[in-house]
Amino acid sequence: ECKKLGAAHHLVFTEGLQARLQRETRVENGLQQALRNNEFELHYQPIVDLESREIVGVEALVRWRLSTGELIMPNEFIGEAARVGLTAQLGEWVLEEACSQLREWLDLGYDLTMSVNISPRHLRHVEFEQKVIDLLAQYDLPLGSLILELTEEVFVDSGVASFYSLNALRNLGVKIAIDDFGTGYSSMRYLKTLPIDRIKIDRCFVSEDNVEQLSDPMITQAIIFLCSGLHFDLVAEGIESEAQAKHLYQQGCRKGQGYWFSKPLMKQDINALLAKKEASVAG
């Protein structure tokens, strides 16, 4: 499916095997040191109200900045971080940085949500729940302003303890989103029984080379119908054209994210976007 093709495909055809192996070794050796040296940074991608085109939130996306200035993308080191036992440490750094940045934007008067991707392993970590609780207090975050993005696998694999954690956090006003919806294994039953506030429709169903259409209009339409019927907050990922944005809105999806509105940006660039009079983007 589109996710698998995406990253692997790109690697194979844009660089030789040799270069790729070299980079993988570098990734392996460098992660621990990178954490110590503070080499990670968060970029933020706007999430937009498809009607007003205002920025209603951002998603934090981690990157690794090498001393050469080169930027390494998460798909190239998240898995590796797991293999070398650094998932929780990296995840905690991301959470803290995201909460601190959210506080900064709230203090500037911007009413935003902050979405943070949580890996299954981090969710299962014994200190996960307490860490989130501490951050909510430390940064005095308003109810509903922090959104945790989890993939469908989490709900299938993670076991009872994770559900208790998620429920507890939800009772404290943290929102839970299913990321990449439609690509995993979740059954319809989960949608009714799990602690979920938001569904993010995977970009598989949204973007295509042909930007004039949705890649799977019937599937997209069915997901929107199902999720709005169940009163989930819906976000379409990977919107790359005005045509797609319009279609999604017409079908009942109220929020979107994608290159058409903005790529993930460094915080200074988000500041500049927010400072523009209407804080609204394309369209």
Which one of 49, 197, 216, 240 is in contact with ligand C2E (CB under 6 A)? 240
Q: Which positions from 227 through 266 interact with Mg ion, judged by CB under 5 A? A: 237
Using the Cα atoms of residue 177, residue 180, residue 183 and residue 184 in order, give the sign of their dihedral.
negative
Count of residues touching Mg ion (by CB under 5 A): 5
Q: What is the DSSP letter of 75?
A: G
**For residues 202 and 199, what is the distance between their CA atoms, to the nearest angstrom?**
9
- Figure out which of the listed residues 92, 179, 208, 233 binds Mg ion, where binding follows CB under 5 A: 179
Should residue 207 be labelled a site residue for ligand C2E when binding is judged by CB under 6 A?
A: yes
Rounded CA separation 280/261 (Å) = 9
* Closest CB to Mg ion among residues 31, 204: 204
Residue 119 interacts with ligand C2E (CB under 6 A)? Answer: yes
Residue (of 220, 148, 221, 146) closest to 178 by Cα position: 148
**47 phi/psi in degrees, rounded to 5:** -110, 130
The partner in contact with residue 265, picked from Mg ion, ligand C2E, none with C-beta cut-offs of 5 to 8 angstroms by kind, is none
Three-state secondary structure call for residue 198: strand
CA–CA distance, 125 with 112 (Å, rounded to integer):
28
75 binds ligand C2E (CB under 6 A): yes
Of 101, 113, 117, 183, which one interacts with ligand C2E (CB under 6 A)?
A: 117
Q: Which stretch binds ligand C2E (CB under 6 A): 64-72, 117-125, 210-218, 246-254?
A: 117-125
Q: Could you tell me if 176 and 196 are in contact, meaning their C-beta atoms sit under 8 angstroms apart?
A: yes
97 binds, among ligand C2E, Mg ion, none (CB under 5 to 8 A by kind): none
Among 73, 172, 194, 219, binds ligand C2E (CB under 6 A): 73
Footprint (CB under 6 A) of ligand C2E, residues 163-182: 179-180
Q: Which of residues 121-140 bind Mg ion (CB under 5 A)?
A: none
Distance of alpha carbon 110 from alpha carbon 36, whole angstroms: 32
- Pick the closest to residue 232 from 263, 259, 195 (CA basis): 195
Please identify, among the stretches 25-33, 99-107, 125-133, 145-153, the one whose residues bind Mg ion according to the rule CB under 5 A. 145-153
Of 100-108, 188-196, 236-244, 269-277, the segment contacting ligand C2E by CB under 6 A is 236-244
Task: CB nearer to Mg ion: give 129 or 149.
Answer: 149
Residues 6 or more apart from 30 whose CB is under 8 A from it? 66
Report, in Å, the least distance between residue 221 CB and ligand C2E: 20
Q: Which of 160, 168, 257, 172 is nearest to 207 (CA)?
A: 257
190 is a contact residue toward ligand C2E (CB under 6 A) = no
Nearest distance from C-beta of residue 240 to ligand C2E, angstroms: 5
Q: Which does 119 bind (CB under 5 to 8 A by kind): Mg ion, ligand C2E, none?
A: ligand C2E
Closest CA to 210 of 178, 185, 177, 247: 247
Binding flag, residue 135, ligand C2E (CB under 6 A): no
Interatomic CA distance for residues 145 and 173, integer angstroms: 8
